[in-house]
């Protein structure tokens, strides 16, 4: 239920939206003001452009397009330019032969008639450049901001604009899958998706990685570093060509084939989109396209990000809105992505970009003051409104560390309209306790608080680790747990050591606890499902351009004598079990126990009872646990099974029956065994933590 009214503040009437939620009410006056700003922007689009539908299809007119009679139409926005010319292979790189005609509002147009044989004047897969003449008399060579394909020769530093108009374009035939109710995301990078020390291809991903993702039970892929970036080691976060799929992995048609294959498997695909900033490159980027220090960006200093050494968009500019909103539409229409993960939202939302902020306290003055950049905030609302209106099953995920309220509420409520936000505090918590504490000293209550500390009614993507934790300078969970022995003791043909034993069990427990308790979606970074043994480091000067750490060693899983396959099997069955019972789509868990001395956590969600024993040495017989639904319970997933690298100490044929004895806030309870008597596995039990999952039978 929502209640709408209004209130006057400083003689201005603002709409107020009340969100009744359990026993409290949130009064959101600023959200109503933000909704008014969105409505104003939509009205202006309707008046000036005939609505957002045509406005967001501007990729059909800007850049280069082949008309039905094979004429080529070129259009650019370069408000500070004195003159524009087109040059390239088609005219022998003549710098003056083909001038653009100046139009209103900084637009420039050019039409090239077809050749004598009626074929287009510019052949498919040939190079082009825009020559920009500035008012200061400079002659600049630029790539069209709307370029659909750019490549770089092996020994070159600068990318080239390549005209992409294949005679037989790939036609996608599989429909988009419906939006999953339980979102299980496989975060992936095409270039590192191979055991070989090289840049892997779209085709490799289609043939070798997609079947693996399907087998693991993930129903969503988040593809990183697809938008073209000149510097590979930027991880795709310094974009140079926003409409071009990175050519280092293959052609646009091969990317389309990848998405089509994913859709045939029922997997949705999200694009990691970077609209928070852009590369400072000029010859192959947006920066200074028309020779000015602004164009797509604010003039310095507002238009520069000091820490990222990049340019910041001017979201109040009409043509910047056209460019960015059309960019989203392009990836949805041309490649048929199913949504986006928006990178760097915190930098967009605030004038301070989060720089110099040790952390956000959660005080509402941090989110509704003059430090908030209303232009970028309204852009995000506009983007979400348009995407969800045009594509009802579209999924948008926000990367925000600030905790902006209503980020994942509908724009009609004054929210920003995202479907999910990344629960970024969770991986930080796991890394913190792994760095600072022995596992016998972990605080059960503190861990549970971090996993459950989120706003009601705003969906979160929980994850124990993502690409951020895999990068060199940090460590993956597996590395934090087992790095001393991962290169020597991961073989099942050698005795199980305490470090490997402890690491295997905690790796499974951390991931399942995060999966079940941390949010309404779950994310895993490529390779971490099997405890990838090394960090991630792209080729750069600092490592002699080595690809050794810019790869994923999937070959380790295929070796049955290595314990990586056991972690892989647990991750697979964890996802498959969730797919069957749907706890991610259920209401938040009811936590009945966070026993610090016993190191036991018990909670139920979606009629599933989870019992975690983190104690390093104690097992429990007849341990009473709370449960709401009465009946008979059986074990459905047990991390201590031998196939997962455990010790098989629980009898899966055992049935557990509830008693009508209220306990810990639940209507019923029952007694369970958490591991067998420790005397039978004295050494191993001292170093092994087990987790057991019980489901209503």
**How much is the CA Rg of the chain, to the nearest whole Å?**
28
Q: Does 672 score more than 50 pLDDT?
A: yes
Report the SS3 class of residue 315: coil
Whether 126 and 97 share a structural domain: yes
Mean pLDDT computed over 38-43? 96
Last residue of a domain, one of 136, 162, 188: 162
The boundaries of the domain holding residue 607 are 590-696
The verdict on residue 307 lying in a domain is no
Give tens-digit pLDDT for 470-495. Answer: 777 678 899 999 988 998 999 999 99
Whether 13 and 98 share a structural domain: no
Greater pLDDT, 22 or 471:
471
Using CA atoms, how far apart are residues 281 and 643, in angstroms rounded to an integer? Answer: 51
The enclosing H or E element of 378 equals: helix 374-390
Give tens-digit pLDDT for 336-362. Answer: 999 999 999 999 999 999 987 767 888
Which residues make Cβ contacts (< 8 Å) with residue 28, sequence separation at least 6?
Answer: 16, 17, 18, 19, 405, 406, 413, 414
Report the SS3 class of residue 382: helix
Let me know how long the chain is.
Answer: 697
Is 684 in contact with 649 (CB distance < 8 Å)?
A: no
The verdict on residue 219 lying in a domain is no
Mean pLDDT computed over 271-277? 98
Dihedral Cα 63, 66, 69, 70, nearest 10 deg: 110
Instruction: Report the CATH number at residue 158.
Output: 2.60.40.10
Whether 130 and 51 share a structural domain: no
In Å, the largest CA–CA distance within the chain is: 90
At residue 11, the pLDDT reads: 34
The enclosing H or E element of 40 equals: helix 29-49
What the block records as the tokens of 559 is 């070796």
The verdict on residue 154 lying in a domain is yes
673 burial type by CB count under 10 A (0-12 exposed, 13-18 middle, 19+ buried):
middle
Using CA atoms, how far apart are residues 588 and 323, in angstroms rounded to an integer? Answer: 39
Whether 18 and 88 share a structural domain: no
Whether 46 and 81 share a structural domain: no
Mean pLDDT computed over 407-417? 95
At residue 183, the pLDDT reads: 98
How many domains does the structure of the chain reveal?
Answer: 3
How far apart, in Å, do the first and last CA atoms of the chain sit? 35
Give tens-digit pLDDT for 225-265. Answer: 999 999 999 999 999 999 999 999 999 999 999 999 999 99
Whether 27 and 102 share a structural domain: no
The verdict on residue 645 lying in a domain is yes
Whether 9 and 34 share a structural domain: yes
Whether 11 and 84 share a structural domain: no
At residue 358, the pLDDT reads: 65
The bridge status of strand 608-613 relative to strand 600-605 is: antiparallel
Using CA atoms, how far apart are residues 137 and 451, in angstroms rounded to an integer? Answer: 59
Strands (DSSP E) found in 53-112 = 63-66, 72-77, 81-88, 101-102, 107-112
Using CA atoms, how far apart are residues 123 and 91, in angstroms rounded to an integer? Answer: 11
Mean pLDDT computed over 372-393? 97
The enclosing H or E element of 305 equals: strand 304-305
Instruction: Report the CATH number at residue 648.
Output: 2.60.40.1180
Give tens-digit pLDDT for 573-621. Answer: 999 999 999 999 999 999 999 999 999 999 999 989 999 999 988 888 8
What the block records as the tokens of 370 is 């003059």
What the block records as the tokens of 199 is 């840049």
CA 114 to chain centre: 43
pLDDT band at 626; cut points 50, 70, 90: very high
Instruction: Name which of 649, 472, 509, 644 is nearest 564 in CA terms.
Output: 644
The verdict on residue 665 lying in a domain is yes
Last residue of a domain, one of 134, 162, 190: 162
The bridge status of strand 460-462 relative to strand 339-342 is: unpaired
Which residues make Cβ contacts (< 8 Å) with residue 334, sequence separation at least 6?
Answer: 59, 252, 256
Cis omega (within 30 of 0) for bond into 594? no
Last residue of a domain, one of 131, 162, 193: 162
At residue 29, the pLDDT reads: 55
At residue 696, the pLDDT reads: 38
The verdict on residue 215 lying in a domain is no
Which residues make Cβ contacts (< 8 Å) with residue 657, sequence separation at least 6?
Answer: 631, 632, 633, 670
Active site amino acids? 343, 399
Whether 667 and 689 share a structural domain: yes
Whether 598 and 692 share a structural domain: yes
Is 441 in contact with 434 (CB distance < 8 Å)?
A: no
The verdict on residue 235 lying in a domain is no
The verdict on residue 673 lying in a domain is yes
pLDDT band at 13; cut points 50, 70, 90: very low
Helices assigned H by DSSP within 78-216: 202-204, 210-216
At residue 359, the pLDDT reads: 74
Tell me which residue has tokens 């969503």.
Answer: 220
Using CA atoms, how far apart are residues 145 and 460, in angstroms rounded to an integer? Answer: 34
The bridge status of strand 268-273 relative to strand 220-224 is: parallel
Using CA atoms, how far apart are residues 371 and 392, in angstroms rounded to an integer? Answer: 32
Residue 173 backbone class (left: φ over 0; alpha: ψ -120 to 50; beta: rest): alpha
Using CA atoms, how far apart are residues 160 and 151, in angstroms rounded to an integer? Answer: 5
Using CA atoms, how far apart are residues 136 and 99, in angstroms rounded to an integer? Answer: 18
Q: Does 529 score more than 60 pLDDT?
A: yes
Helix axis angle, 498-517 to 425-436, nearest 10°: 160
Whether 146 and 73 share a structural domain: yes
Whether 620 and 676 share a structural domain: yes
């Amino acid at each position: 239920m929502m209640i709408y009214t209004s209130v006057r503040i400083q003689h201005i009437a603002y709409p107020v939206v009340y969100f009744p939620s359990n026993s409290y009410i949130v009064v959101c006056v600023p959200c109503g003001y933000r909704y008014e700003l969105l409505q104003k922007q939509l009205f202006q689009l309707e008046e000036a452009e005939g609505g957002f539908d045509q406005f967001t299809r501007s990729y059909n007119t800007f850049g280069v397009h082949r008309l039905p009679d094979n004429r080529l139409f070129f259009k650019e926005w370069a408000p500070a330019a004195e003159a524009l010319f087109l040059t390239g292979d088609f005219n022998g790189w003549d710098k003056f032969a083909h001038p653009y005609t100046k139009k209103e509002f900084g637009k420039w147009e050019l039409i090239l008639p077809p050749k004598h044989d009626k074929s287009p004047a510019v052949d498919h897969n040939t190079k082009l450049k825009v020559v920009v003449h500035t008012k200061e008399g400079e002659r600049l060579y630029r790539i069209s901001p709307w370029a659909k394909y750019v490549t770089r020769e092996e020994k070159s530093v600068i990318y080239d604009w390549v005209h992409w108009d294949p005679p037989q374009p790939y036609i996608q035939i599989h429909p988009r899958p419906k939006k999953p109710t339980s979102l299980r995301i496989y975060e992936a990078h095409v270039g590192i998706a191979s055991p070989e020390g090289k840049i892997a291809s779209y085709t490799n991903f289609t043939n070798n990685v997609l079947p693996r993702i399907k087998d693991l039970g993930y129903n969503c892929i988040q593809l990183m570093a697809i938008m073209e970036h000149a510097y590979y080691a930027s991880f795709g976060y310094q974009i140079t060509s926003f409409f071009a799929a990175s050519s280092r992995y293959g052609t646009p048609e091969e990317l389309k084939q990848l998405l089509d294959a994913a859709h045939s498997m029922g997997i949705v695909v999200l694009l990691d989109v970077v609209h928070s900033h852009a590369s400072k490159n000029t010859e192959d980027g947006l920066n200074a396209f028309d020779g000015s220090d602004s164009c797509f960006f604010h003039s310095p200093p507002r238009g520069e990000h000091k820490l990222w050494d990049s340019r910041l968009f001017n979201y109040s500019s009409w043509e910047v809105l056209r460019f960015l909103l059309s960019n989203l539409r392009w990836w949805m229409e041309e490649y048929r992505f199913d949504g986006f993960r928006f990178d760097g939202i915190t930098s967009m939302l605030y004038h301070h970009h989060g720089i110099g902020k040790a952390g956000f306290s959660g005080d509402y003055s941090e989110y509704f003051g003059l430090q908030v950049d209303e232009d970028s905030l309204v852009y995000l609302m506009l983007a979400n409104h348009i995407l969800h209106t045009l594509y009802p099953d579209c999924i948008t995920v926000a990367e925000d560390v600030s905790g902006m309220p209503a980020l994942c509420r509908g724009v009609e409520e004054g929210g920003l309209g995202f479907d999910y936000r990344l629960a970024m505090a969770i991986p930080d918590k796991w890394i913190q306790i792994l760095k600072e504490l022995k596992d016998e000293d972990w605080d059960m209550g503190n861990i549970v608080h971090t996993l459950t500390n989120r706003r009601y009614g705003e969906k979160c993507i929980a994850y124990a680790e993502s690409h951020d934790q895999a990068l060199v300078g940090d460590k993956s969970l597996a590395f934090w747990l087992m790095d001393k022995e991962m290169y020597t003791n991961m073989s099942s043909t050698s005795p199980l050591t305490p470090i490997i034993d402890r690491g295997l069990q905690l790796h499974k427990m951390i991931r399942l606890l995060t999966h079940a308790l941390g949010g309404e979606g779950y994310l895993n970074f490529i390779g971490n499902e099997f405890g990838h043994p090394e960090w991630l480091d792209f080729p750069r000067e600092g490592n002699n351009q080595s690809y050794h750490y810019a790869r994923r060693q999937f070959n380790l899983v295929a070796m049955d004598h290595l314990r990586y396959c056991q972690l892989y099997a647990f991750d697979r069955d964890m996802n498959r079990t969730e797919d069957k019972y749907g706890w991610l789509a259920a209401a938040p868990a009811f936590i009945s126990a966070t026993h610090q001395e016993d190191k036991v956590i018990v909670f139920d969600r979606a009629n599933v009872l989870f019992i975690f024993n983190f104690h390093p040495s104690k097992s429990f017989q007849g341990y009473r646990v709370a449960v709401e639904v009465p009946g008979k319970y059986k074990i459905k997933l047990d991390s201590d099974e031998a196939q997962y690298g455990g010790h098989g100490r629980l009898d899966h044929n055992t049935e557990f029956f509830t008693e009508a004895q209220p306990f810990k806030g639940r209507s019923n309870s029952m007694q369970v065994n958490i591991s067998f008597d420790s005397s039978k596995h004295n050494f191993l039990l001292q170093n092994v933590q087990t987790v057991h999952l019980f489901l209503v039978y």
